[in-house]
Amino acid sequence: MIEAPEHVALKIAHLPESPGVYLWKDAQGVVLYVGKAKRLRSRVRSYYTSDHQESVKTRALMRQVRDLETIVVPSEAHALILEANLIKEHHPRFNIALRDDKSYPYIKVTVQEPFPRVLVTRRLVNDGGRYFGPYTDVGAMRRALNVVKRIFTVRSCNHDMPREMPERPCLDYHIGRCKAPCILAQTQAEYRAMIDEVVLYLDGRADEVTRRVRERMEEAAARLDFERAAELRDVLHHLERLEEPTVVVEVDGGDRDVIGYARDGNEACVTILRIRAGKLLARDHQFLENLEEEPDPAVLAAYLVRAYLPAEERAAELLVPFDFDDRELIEGSLPGTRVWVPQRGARRQLIDLAEQNARHLLEEQKLATFEADERAADPVYELQRELGLQTVPRSLVCFDISTAQGTDTVASCVWFENGRPKRAEYRKFKIKTVEGTDDFASMREVVTRYFQRRVEEEKPLPDLVVIDGGKGQLAAARGALEALGLGRLQTISLAKREEEVFIPGRSESLRLSRRSPGLRLLQRARDEAHRFAITYNRKRRAMRTVTSELLRIPGIGPQRRRALLQAFGSVQGVREASEAEIAKVPGFSLATARRVLDALHGRSTPAASTDNVETGVGVTQTEQPSAAASLSPPTDASS
């Protein structure tokens, strides 16, 4: 437990039990962390009344804290907004970091001006203008601008109208690109009506613009203003020829914003799909860093407060992938927007689409920074989501134990990288310290040997450890990992009968859908580990059976057996060899070769001396593993 500095303890004692924001500072006055509290005194005091054993990040923060500043506000909602503003201002190192995407362009309509303009900007300024974007695809933004310029006669000059009015119109007027509101050839009301249609079009409501243009064309034709009707006919023709934006799943019409979330350890990506009238118009995203032990609900809440709440435009519906912290407060700060956490149906399909985008962007970032060799498959992310893992299990290992009635007990470890087997990392083991059938002790031995060697050789550790078995095998593996100081590794077990997933700390098992891509990935790893272990177990038993014929020959010790098998490949090869061929093997004479062949063919042999018989028996009991091992490749990870 960390002791508070004297002046900080004095401040805490006099804090009110009311909503507010607190700022932890270091000795130089630099803000380290900004947090909000429903009751300031209780929240701040909790930093010093707990040892924070489960949070390395909080312990590191409190070791650097030398001062405290607090701001009392009327309500939790005020604290929520103030916290977001202070984080943007101070950029504290211990808060979740949202990486700004200010380099992405926006289309801005200066609706605050009497004669608005349409222009491109990369800065969001709270000046009353309407911003559309950001456009991650600059080509899409240019196409949208070209459509606006082709259909609508928006002025391109920078005059501060009506304060600055030129004496004559520019070239755009003469080529039909502008109707010269600068010399009042077009009234302000007419120009404003056109700008309203520009805003509707950029907002994705091209059908509404088309309806309005058609009505005005018909009115002009009824007034016999055929020149104006022809202009509107051309505009209508361009609108109808435009390609429709990408259509996604219709959900009873309406507008909605859809949040997608993907996380990998201390980094995450949040995407937002902006859907208007069932059409996907834009995709925005932000990367979040410095997450440490922050749970996913807190990360999503931080994004919503600091990126979504300040947005100029929000839809009537906000779809999020899971529930988040301070939901009531955030919903209260989103007037006119209803928050949904869909579990199935068309809305869930939209969430899946947004999450797929988030995973794609996070993978691109990983590949760009050389943190991954290849793209992780979607089932890897599905497994992370279904198991509630903070780190994407790009690499996972699966352990299995195989025995034959308590003999020839072996184990296997298979490695999967980005959802695919990596056979160069497969390992198999002979159980050395366990006698009889004891799966728990065998699992403890194998996990200890495997990870101890990887640590000693400074090899990378997997993101997820999968154990073939139930709670007992999982507990044995966890005990081995914790004894090695690797308790932080994510570990689960998969039981065969009901395909139950056991997670440390949860009393009840987790049952994934039989159609779940994550479950299929676990099953594939489990089956591969089982196949590898069974194959090794059968090979061991076959070796023991085959070599037993040589073990029964008096006077033939381990070195001679090894020489015979190396020379002829198998017992059958020795049986088919001649006395002369065997006699050529180092350590053998014609007499010894004759005795070997007599034994293998079942012919009677002269009795060996008692000493030789005892020696042979002794060799059989103590050297049998060596004889078997001499036939198998050195693939034991701990040999």
Same structural domain for residues 262 and 329? yes
How far is Cα of residue 494 from the mean position of the Cα atoms in its chain? Answer: 21
Nearest alpha-carbon partner for 562 in 549, 572, 547: 547
- Six token digits for residue 107: 């289309």
Q: Taking the alpha carbons of 215, 216, 217, 221 in that order, is the dihedral positive or negative?
A: positive
Q: What is the side-by-side order of every strand in the sheet holding 267-276?
A: 97-99, 279-289, 267-276, 256-264, 317-319, 338-340
Asked whether residue 250 is assigned to any structural domain, the reply reads no
Number of domains in the chain: 5
- CA–CA dist 290, 385 (Å, integer): 20
Nearest alpha-carbon partner for 278 in 352, 339, 346, 344: 346
Are 87 and 95 spatial neighbours (Cβ–Cβ below 8 Å)? yes
Asked whether residue 199 is assigned to any structural domain, the reply reads yes
Instruction: Say what the pLDDT of residue 485 is.
Output: 92
- CA–CA dist 57, 173 (Å, integer): 63
Instruction: Say what the pLDDT of residue 523 is.
Output: 92
Q: What is the greatest pairwise CA distance in the chain?
A: 130
pTM: 0.57
- CA–CA dist 297, 305 (Å, integer): 12
Asked whether residue 418 is assigned to any structural domain, the reply reads yes
| Residue 458 backbone zone (phi > 0: left; psi -120 to 50: alpha; other: beta) | left
Q: Tell me: the pLDDT tens digits for 250-304?
A: 445 578 899 999 998 888 999 998 887 776 666 788 888 888 778 899 999 999 9
Length of the chain: 639
Instruction: Say what the pLDDT of residue 397 is.
Output: 95
Instruction: Say what the pLDDT of residue 408 is.
Output: 76
Please report, for the domain that includes residue 603, its CATH number: 1.10.150
Instruction: Say what the pLDDT of residue 1 is.
Output: 67
Asked whether residue 354 is assigned to any structural domain, the reply reads yes
Same structural domain for residues 409 and 387? yes
Asked whether residue 637 is assigned to any structural domain, the reply reads no
Instruction: Say what the pLDDT of residue 240 is.
Output: 65
Q: Show the low-confidence residues of the chain (pLDDT under 70).
A: 1, 52-54, 99-104, 133-140, 238-253, 279-282, 368-374, 405-406, 542-549, 551, 604-639
Same structural domain for residues 396 and 358? no
Nearest alpha-carbon partner for 235 in 175, 118, 153: 153
Asked whether residue 375 is assigned to any structural domain, the reply reads no
Same structural domain for residues 134 and 193? yes
Parallel, antiparallel, or unpaired: how do β-strands 31-37 and 317-319 relate? unpaired
Are 132 and 148 spatial neighbours (Cβ–Cβ below 8 Å)? no
Q: Tell me: the pLDDT tens digits for 37-76?
A: 988 989 999 998 877 666 788 888 988 999 998 888 888 8
Instruction: Say what the pLDDT of residue 239 is.
Output: 66
Same structural domain for residues 527 and 571? no
Same structural domain for residues 134 and 64? no
Same structural domain for residues 518 and 490? yes
- Six token digits for residue 181: 């509101």
- CA–CA dist 634, 639 (Å, integer): 7
Instruction: Say what the pLDDT of residue 10 is.
Output: 84
Other Cβ atoms less than 10 A from the Cβ of 513: the count is: 9
Please report, for the domain that includes residue 86, its CATH number: 3.40.1440.10
Q: Which of 63, 95, 127 represents a domain boundary (last residue)?
A: 95
Parallel, antiparallel, or unpaired: how do β-strands 427-430 and 407-417 relate? antiparallel
Same structural domain for residues 531 and 558? no
Asked whether residue 573 is assigned to any structural domain, the reply reads yes
Asked whether residue 247 is assigned to any structural domain, the reply reads no
Same structural domain for residues 78 and 119? no
SS3 (DSSP) at 501: strand
Same structural domain for residues 72 and 146? no
Look up the domain containing 339 and give its range. 256-368
Q: Which of 203, 237, 269 represents a domain boundary (last residue)?
A: 203
Same structural domain for residues 508 and 565? no
Q: Which stretches does DSSP call E strand in 30-183?
A: 31-37, 67-72, 97-99, 106-109, 118-121, 130-132
How far is Cα of residue 352 from the mean position of the Cα atoms in its chain? Answer: 14
Cα distances (Å, whole numbers) of residue 318 to 146, 308, 358, 484, 541 = 31, 10, 17, 45, 62
- The b/e string for 415-447 (b: 16+ C-beta within 10 A; e otherwise) is bbbbbeeeeebbbbbbbeebeeebbbbbbbbbb
Same structural domain for residues 532 and 559? no
